Structure 1
Amino acid sequence: MKPKSKRDYVPFGHKLMITYCVFIIIPVLLAAYMANMIFVESAQENARENYRSMLSQVKDNINYRMDDVANVSSMLYFDTRLALHLRQSKGGYESYASMTEYVLPRIQSTLDAAHNKMHLTVFMHNETLPEIYHAYPGGNALSGMGSVYDFYHIDRLHGKPWYETFPAEQYGATMEWRQVERDAALGQISLLRRLIEPNDPFELKEIGFLRITTRISDLFESLEAGRLAEGSSMMIVDEQGVIVTSSGGTVLQPGQPLDQRSLDDYMVVEENLNRLNWKLIGLLPGDITEAATRQVTGWTILIGLLCYLIFAMAGLYISRSFARKVSKIVAVLDAFREGDFHKRIQFKGRDEFTRISLALNDMGHNIQELIEEVYLSNIRKKEAELESLQAQINPHFLYNTLSSISRLAKFGEVDRLHRMVLDLAKFYRLSLNEGRTVIPIKHELEQIEAYMSIQKTKFGDGMTVWYEIDPDIMGYETIKLILQPFVENVLEHAWYGDRINIRITGAAMEERIVFQVIDDGLGMHPDTLRQLLGPPGNVSIGYGIGNVDQRIKLHYGQQYGVHITSRLGAGTTVEITIPKRVSAGQP
């Protein structure tokens, strides 16, 4: 036994392990640290954008409710007949009739059309019209059920600052949202708008004034749904910085001024409510990404441990590198012997193993190219035979259909002729399938349905067809036009009396798909039955039947094809078997 030589150098395997530690472990840890920082920032930004999107939706909902109130004012503003009744000054019964017969019903119908509950107050310049108002519990007109209205004379607004300072009129555009009178105390807000003489849009003479009051809680109802996470909240702040209403878990309450220092622990997102000159503010807790940060940290630690495990195994790999190279060469040779020439090996360096691997790779590539060339040649030959066989079916069907169209034209049956032409166009559109021979079963069934529609136009009530198709087979493939020749054969030769019934079925059976075309027609003689699946042209009936059988066998193999059973006077059953193959593009 030879004594072990003392090593006076650092082994290559150790050097490689040190290199791994420097160039893989440390970069992985640095990358994980940077990824953690980037993820936290990204999570915060995503949370901000998500909340901004939610605020935008809440804002849209608020604008929708404000538009609802504005639409009520516009319906009254542009109502020329209402303006006429408000201007008429006959007094007495005429004024009473004007109010009761048109004005009040018009106001009520307008309020009923609105989605929001509101209190409409109309101030009239015409003092011949009576004031109509109600007493409300606590002075709050919105405390009861439904929308209400009141009519007052305009002199009740004299001296009111919100009326005296109302902006100059711009036709159809001047209106303002304000909290006037007791609105703030009652949690309400009002839309203010003039009523003008509509027949003179240039003079803009005021004939009345509208105040439409609604509850702030109704207007800003969507705030309650606007919570992105636990602890988040929303609030509405007016132009003085006072909180009008709020939702969620914030400690800030309505009526309090907004203190910016209280928002230091929150992520703040704002949206302007331009019509009110108010702000919609969303608050997100600052620690919203804490859970995600912990999760990333856990994954970072796990990945680091996996890296250490991988590098420990790398030491074993290095010590056995030569044995593994030989094993790879043997594995490639075994694969070549079994007919798998796709297997390749790659060795780094410029030693003998590298030259052997390059030679084996080149040999496998060359043999594979030769095999593929022979295989493609055979495939092209089979496809040419398939196209030749398939071409025998389409002209036969077209000839029969054109003959039927000719008969319909001869007898002047225009509607049936038109329907048959449309069905024929649909059939050939489905038949073309962009030149593909193999199609989804769904398309094959659509083709046969188009074909049967053509025949239904031809035979009317004399023909009945039923479909019993398993929906699970729709995603599989078939060669096209495997059903139509059999149905055509039934309709051409199987009539037994003046009616015939056809049933078409399709179902999956283990690794096969089986179609059946069953009729209750005349049936076939055993001699005819034996000849049907022979070479095309052996018998006068069923020209395409043997064709279909040959196409199926050519494409899928001899174990698939067509089987026919028939009894004279009892009908015929055709069974078509194909393999269960998923159609291209199906999951």
Structure 2
Amino acid sequence: MRRMLNVPFGYKLIVPYVLCLLVAVLTVGMFAYAHSVNTLREKTRENIQGTLQQIRDNIRYRTDDVERISKMLYYNYSLQSALRRYEQGWYSYETMTKTLMPALENLLNYTASNIGLSLYLQNDTLPELYYTDIDQNPLFSIKRYEIYHLKRIQETDWYRGLEFSGSMADQRIWRQILRDESYGNISLLQRLDDVHRGQNIGLVRVTVQISDLLDSVDYHKIGEYTTLEVLDGSGNVVLESAPEAEGLKGSRTGNRLLLSEPLDGLGWELRAYIPNSLFDESANNVRRMTLIVCLISAFVLAFLGIGVSSYFSRRIQKIVGSLNAFRDGDFQKRIHYKGNDELAQIAAAFNRMGSNIEELIHKNYVAGLQKKEAELESLQAQINPHFLYNTLSSINRLAQFGDIQKLHILVQELAKFYRLSLNRGEILTTVGKEIEHAKAYIAIQCIKYGNRLSVYYDIDPAALDYMTVKLILQPMLENALEHAWFGSTIGIRLVVEKRETDIVFKIIDNGVGMNADTIEQILATEGPRIGYGIRNVDSRIKLHGGNGYGVAIASRSGIGTCIQITIPCRM
């Protein structure tokens, strides 16, 4: 296979540049006069079209801001839950004052736009809230939200004529209803549904002034003698912007260019009427300068080509080098260009991308840690609370029998047990403290069971200073004392040893043991499960150390059980 020739980017840039330059000079020299007017006209048309698109985008931003308000109300699940309950009296008052009214107040404060909110609710147990001043635009009142019962409008023509389409969350219609037209307003109508049950629970109306939505419609942005207008779905003019109000008649006819852009969502259309004289004056200047520019450009650009090629080649190589650094995982690489050209914009976008990637990695890392910490706290909170009750019962019995020595030991060990359990609110503890916690638990149980319980310890001192998730030994010891009795006595052996990268705990008993089916049910991730305490410990260890660590069980019926807990060595 032939090896492809590696041509530097600078040569690839200069050769096509020179060829295109020659072709361009010849082409412009031959056809400039014939095509200059059309070229300028098309360029100006594109610029004006781009300006119209910007105006359209500004309007779309305003409508999106209003639609975002209705979406926030639509997905307010606590509000939906409150509106589903048909109860009068105190509940109705509490729903209005603590749920519904604060939700509407927050939505009004969410946006800087001057909007009005109206809710029409199926739940007629809630009181209505509205204002009777019919001579004032509701958008200029102090309170800009109202609450009605839906039955007020169910028989109106405008409500019957609503035809929502699409998904439940996207069922929104822009329309002038009630007094909107007289006040120069328009309303966004949004179904209010019970998201979980798929039932309609009301209607949301967000009202905004048309002048606020269309404040970016200004003929100065296009040019002098230009007319801008917005037409509704019926072809009626909603708003006009022109240099002179007297000159609007006939401004849409004659020797003028028409450009338009649809206003999505509203169902309206933005139009611009540009006089052709705007193009003719510039075209004459282009005709005069075309030949001179072509001749001079052919010589000047030929000499500048090499310098330009070298300049951009160095800048491109800078970008390529930074991209290669990103590919290798170095997201701290940055590009610094002077100026405001396209490559500088690419560099700025590249730098922003690097910063965003670093920030996202950090946020995901922190969010993962917070999630694991919350899950650990939730799992640890579920440790069996009956132990305290049973111990207090034992203390009560010892007090009744007057066994002060055992009572003193029991209270002392119980205090130590809960001091180590609380661990100042920390999730992690040292292996040494975890063993000390287990010994405190065993000391309490030895007072309860007496000579029937025998416990042996085999502890590797090298493992004591390493970190572990707290409360992993006590549930295993408690499980053995609850389920492993074989006869009237039981023996338990606690082994702790440090290996190369792991620390292994073993809780060995000589009890009744378990069969393979029981072990499988204890460690199963699906279906009916038993042995909550063991799964609790296994889940917490996996959250802390990963799926390679956790609990393993070996047992034979009538012989005994060995529960092995493996954690990573971490100081």
What TM-score results when the alignment is normalised by the length of structure 1?
0.42
Report the structure number with the largest CA radius of gyration.
1
What TM-score results when the alignment is normalised by the length of structure 2?
0.43
